[in-house]
Structures are given as C-alpha cells and as structure tokens.
Structure 1
Amino acid sequence: MYYFPEQPPYLLLLIGFLIALTSGFALSGTIKVIVQKWQPSSDENPQTNSSWRTLFVPFLGITGGICLFLCSGLEIFGFPYLLALGVGLPIGLLTCLLVWYQLGSMLDFVKTRGMKSLDLDSFS
C-alpha cells in the first residue's frame, strides 16, 4: 500500500528554502563585518563572545530553514509526516552542528594566522 499525501507541503518546502537562503545572506554579511573589524595588529579581540552571539541568530535561521526544507521534501516524496520529521530533523540538525563547528574552527584559524593562510590556490 502506497502513501500519497492529499496536499503535499510544496509551500512549506518553498518557505524553508527561502528562510535558509535569506538567513544565509545575513550570515554572510555578518561574517564579513566581523572579519573587517579584526585588525592585524591586535593580539586579542575582546568582542569574541558577542561576535559568536551575532553569528548564532542567522545560523539558527539557516538550521530551521534546512530542517523545514528536508522534512517537507521527504513528505513530498512519500514519507509519512512523523517519519519525515524523524529522518529530516536529525539529518538537518547534525549537518548544521557540524557546519557550526567547522565555521568556528575556520574563524579561529583565520583570526590567529590571518586571511592569507586560507589561500588554497598557492598549493597547486
């Protein structure tokens, strides 16, 4: 027996995508502002905790948008509602948690070694 939803959540899929997209633009702008405030001559930045708080809000929007997008997409492809939540939420949350960890380590790396240390074209 196949499961066919009567009204697939296409609107929720679009809303989740737009939330993640707009939050991504906000996160990008916030990261640019934070990195521009760093001076190469300063040893320690006292605003590190406040910069993480300003990054957390757009990233939380990205996480919510991705989870909504994944759950809606799985429901469109035939998963029942609870199963779509049970699969989509852990995948979305785990992925965003790993990206948050990677973002933190890259920002710490850039802060200690400078932007020139990320030049990947010089290795080839």
Structure 2
Amino acid sequence: MTDFSNPPFVLLAFGLFAGIVCGLSFFQGLKQLLNKWSKTRSSKVLDQLRGIPLFLPFLGIVGGVCLFLATSLQVLAISPKIAYIIATPLSVGMGILVWLQLMRQVNQLERKGKSS
C-alpha cells in the first residue's frame, strides 16, 4: 500500500488549491475595486485597496505558495524541517515585496488622481 503522508502529496495539492483559490479571490476583489475607482476616482476606494478585504486573500496566496513550496521540496527528499525553513522566508519575502509594489502602484494612482 502506498504511504501518501511521506512525501505529503495531499498537502502539496492543498497548497496549490489554496493558492489558486485565494489568487482568484484576490484578482476579483482587485478588479472590482479598480473598476469602482475608475468610475468615481475616489480616494476611499483606494483606501479599500489597502484594507483587509484585499489583504486576506493575499495572505492566502502567500500561505498556499509556502505550503506548496515546502511540500514540493519534501517530494525531492528534503526533510520537512529544512523544507519549511527554506520555503517560509522565500514565500514571506516574496509576499512582502509584491504587497509593497502593489501599494506603490496604489499611491501612484492616488497622486495622479489628485493632480487631475
């Protein structure tokens, strides 16, 4: 009988699924807020881009990527402890950089909206 817990193929699939589902949720939320902003040019809408409704799906993406990366490393015969030591800083670091870049873009939209 096959042992599916070592390497953790179920966690691999769950990490991929969580990242994709949260990514779709993030995309739809971002798309709706940007469409709303393009019609109103309101800074309140841009504040929502910085808020929890968009940040939670983003955290889900980062968590899903971290889980997927760690379990992918375990499939390559790396111990779980080492896999998470590698995957966590990479995922969190990538998440921080992407979020900061998104916030720079939002700030740029806000500055251009005020100057128009």
Give the alignment's TM-score, normalised by structure 2.
0.82
1:62: which partner in 2? 61
CA distance change for structure 1 residues 36 and 111 in 2, over 3 Å: closer, same or farther? Answer: farther
Structure with more of its chain in helix, by fraction: 2
1:112 aligns with 111
Cα RMSD of the aligned pairs, angstroms, is 2.2
Partner of 1:14: 13
Distance 1:49 1:39 in 2: 14
Supply the distance in 2 between the matched residues of 1:58 and 1:41 (Cα, whole angstroms): 24
Which has the larger Rg? 1
In 2 relative to 1, CA 74–37 (structure 1 residues): closer, same or farther, beyond 3 Å?
same
**What's the counterpart of residue 38 of structure 1?**
37
Q: % of aligned pairs identical? A: 29
Shift of 1:69: 0.5
1:11-65 alpha-carbon deviations (Å, 9 max, x no partner): 11111011000100000000011111114664x5135444322110100110110
Instruction: Note the alpha carbon deviations across 1:72-112, whole angstroms, 9 max, x for none.
Output: 01111111111111111111110111111111112222343
TM-score by length of 1: 0.77
Unpaired runs of at least 5, structure 1: 1-5, 115-124
